[in-house]
Amino acid sequence: MDVPPHPHTGLQTVSWLFSGGVEHRDSGGVHAMVRPGELNLMTAGAGICHSEVSIASDPSAVLHGAQLWVALPDSARDTERDFAHYAPLPISLPGATARVFLGELAGSRSPVHTFTPLLGAQVDLDANAELEIDVDPAFEHGVLCDEGAVEMCGTALAVADLGYQGPGNSVMSLRNVGHGPARVLLLGGTPFAEQLVMWWNFVGRSHDEIVNYRQLWEDADERFGAVQGYQGSVIRLPAPPLPTVRLRPRAIQETRGEHT
């Protein structure tokens, strides 16, 4: 992977790896690595740009992980750019091991700052393990199956499936129904009720904001700054053309305590 410098607004990127490694550089002057079991959390705020390049300390390792984008609330979306790195220690659960990289779970708390209440944890389930975890009933939760076959509250999940549990539930049930170990990401947070417009790497609130962000990036405006030390054939990614229609906010979904 070699992604030249590119911009972001109005979000935090959550990078979590299962194998391989990534070198990160950003316009806040940060140069950092992320490896399996480590979190890189970048806050774009009003504007940032960064590059991402895979590192081959182990040539046989496949780059494999997840990058999550967390929308910032209106009160914080123009905050300063920032970066945090954290390597959570594993905690033991009945038939499982967890690493909590955002929020709090089973008595383990991440020190990393987020602007809305969130949960992020890798949970590794032993063969035939059944696990019930206390969770915040104010949260909606997602379970991303990365390895094996699991059931989330009775709903079967295969690799790359994302299960959903709405607010109002105080327990998350996980069951390994495969023949070997299983691995999931348990994600959660309070429902995000603000309307958003998202296009390319920008999160905003209106079509006109997105148009402005794009133009500022194309003009190399200081809002996004510049990445130092990146070496590649393309110095920075150009923005793609805007669509020929106006961008509209996403619809706000009404959430209940269902499982899907």
Q: How far apart are the first and last CA of the chain?
A: 33
pLDDT at 94 over 70: yes
* Region 98-119 average pLDDT: 97
pLDDT at 259: 59
**Tens digits of residue pLDDT in 174-215:** 999 998 999 999 999 999 999 999 999 999 999 999 999 999
Assign 250 a pLDDT band (cuts: 50, 70, 90).
confident
Q: How far apart are CA 260 and CA 143, in angstroms?
A: 10
What whole-number percentage of the chain has pLDDT above 90?
A: 91
pLDDT at 231: 93
Q: How far apart are CA 249 and CA 1, in angstroms?
A: 31
Token pair, residue 232, equals 């590649």
160 phi/psi in degrees, rounded to 5:
80, 0
- Which CA distances in Å does 179 have to 122, 129, 239, 260? 20, 11, 46, 24
Assign 258 a pLDDT band (cuts: 50, 70, 90).
low
What whole-number percentage of the chain has pLDDT above 70?
A: 95
pLDDT at 254 over 60: no
Q: How far apart are CA 184 and CA 207, in angstroms?
A: 36
**Tens digits of residue pLDDT in 121-139:** 999 999 999 999 999 999 9
Positive or negative, the Cα torsion across 18, 21, 26, 31? positive
Assign 257 a pLDDT band (cuts: 50, 70, 90).
low
Mean pLDDT of the chain: 94
Neighbours of 55 (CB within 10 A): 15
The whole model's pTM is what?
0.92
* Region 231-247 average pLDDT: 94
Transcribe the chain into DSSP letters: -EEEEEEEBSEEEEEEEEES-EEEEETTS-EEEE-TT-EEEEE-TT-EEEEEEE--SSTT---EEEEEEEEPPTTTTTPPPEEEEE-PPPEEETTEEEEEEESEETTEE-----SS-EEEEEEEEPTT-EEEEE--TTSEEEEEEEES-EEETTEEE-TT-EEEE-TT-SEEEEEE-SSS-EEEEEEEE----S--EEETTEEESSHHHHHHHHHHHHTT-TTT---SS--SSSSSPPPPPPPSS---PPPPPP--S-B-
